Structure 1
């Protein structure tokens, strides 16, 4: 086996030449690696941004559907208050056929959670992280408030089964009405904030939800006659 011994350098000039070749080669390799890594991070950042924007757009479209039913909710709470006033005055109590409640839009935050857990949101600029974070913070608040609102309407739903209202029951129902009104106001405030923050990101809430016809035509039970059809 022939062993080739390294050739000795002949002078400083040859040494510098070899040195420059090695340094340039290393720097070129590092530069190419940095470019590839930068392109990879940009792709991940773009994918994360597109995913969360789509998710926010769906959420915004969902909550917009609720707005059209707000008059029904206000009217139903007024009807319940009037019923409680009559019962409190000793008048005959006639249980409603339907109390109902609001349609609670589903709030999606899974994509933002996954992107954050995977470190992809850190690839966004500080301003972008702050802007998207504001939207999702309001979405989280909205989801919690809708849960509290649903509990208030669940208590009001007991009126469907009662045949007599004691003073204690009247008091409890008045508290539930007040709670439902308060949570509705808070929910509407949250929705306004979501629209403002999403609007600053250019998200309009125009997603195609592709709902079944029966779901698209669904009406909250709070919009149905209080004492039944024709009453």
Structure 2
């Protein structure tokens, strides 16, 4: 802030008081204008960041819903195969016949999971340039929670998603089936159930994440993100 003071001679106390008041008013006006400009800048930056963050969360939400829909189709053949073999075992069907049923549907014996790649660039930029700190408190909490949920979901699929899956047994069974070799029906259906459970657990995490992202996009007036 720079003030250009008038170069005048003061002849009385009254002149001095006027001159002093003018300087004070000039300083206050300049400070007020500077504060207003700074507030306007912060408000604009926060509004822009909020718009970009909402668009990014909406994109992530759309990708989550796409994965949920894709996984429903991927799980169905696996679940159906498990039901067929389980029913054969309950009815005491010979292992040789069960193996024939497995061979007939061996294309369904695969674990396929669709998982989205989450974007976070808008949030990272807002945090880096501090525009996130100028947002409304409630709005900021919603967005912060949404990105924390995205990180947690990504960590789960990376580290814990296959904790209940016996991957070596699955690979060994897949090799035997591809070569036309017989497999133990009980071992097969046990691994198959692990594969189904892993897929369903993934779906559960995606649905939970979907609800969290919808909540993050919900407006204060009770409106919500459209599906």
TM-score normalised to the size of structure 1?
0.69
Q: For residues 10-41 of structure 1, what are the alpha-carbon distances to aligned partners after superposition, in whole Å with 9 as ceiling and x for unaligned?
A: 33212111111111111121112112111111
Note if 1:10 corresponds to 2:11: yes
Shift of 1:144: 3.2
1:139–1:205: structure 2 CA closer, same or farther, 3 Å change rule? Answer: farther
The one of 102, 110, 114 aligned to 1:103: 114
Q: Is the 8 A contact 2:78 2:196 kept in 1?
A: yes
Shift of 1:121: 0.5
Other structure's SS at 1:101 match: coil
Shift of 1:81: 2.7
The one of 118, 128, 132 aligned to 1:117: 128
Other structure's SS at 2:11 match: coil
Q: Is the 8 A contact 1:44 1:120 kept in 2?
A: yes
Structure 1: 5+ residue runs without aligned partners?
Answer: 1-5, 207-231
2-structure distance, mates of 1:160, 1:203: 45
Other structure's SS at 1:104 match: coil
Aligned residues: 201
Shift of 1:129: 0.7
1-structure distance, mates of 2:8, 2:195: 93
1:194–1:185: structure 2 CA closer, same or farther, 3 Å change rule? Answer: same
Shift of 1:140: 2.5
Shift of 1:181: 2.4
The one of 134, 140, 152 aligned to 1:129: 140
Note if 1:161 corresponds to 2:162: no
Q: Which residue is 1:20 aligned to? A: 21
Note if 1:180 corresponds to 2:199: yes
Note if 1:193 corresponds to 2:212: yes
1-structure distance, mates of 2:189, 2:82: 10
Shift of 1:149: 4.2
1-structure distance, mates of 2:78, 2:129: 45
Deviating more after overlay: 104-113 vs 13-22: 104-113
Q: Is the 8 A contact 2:142 2:215 kept in 1?
A: no
Shift of 1:185: 1.9
* Map 1:194-209 → 2, pairs under 5 A: 194-200=213-219, 204=225
Shift of 1:153: 8.4
Shift of 1:154: 10
1:150–1:114: structure 2 CA closer, same or farther, 3 Å change rule? Answer: farther
1:200–1:136: structure 2 CA closer, same or farther, 3 Å change rule? Answer: farther
More helix by share: 2
Structure 2: 5+ residue runs without aligned partners?
Answer: 1-6
Shift of 1:66: 2.8
2-structure distance, mates of 1:116, 1:56: 15
Q: Is the 8 A contact 1:48 1:120 kept in 2?
A: yes
Shift of 1:70: 4.6
Q: Is the 8 A contact 2:67 2:116 kept in 1?
A: yes
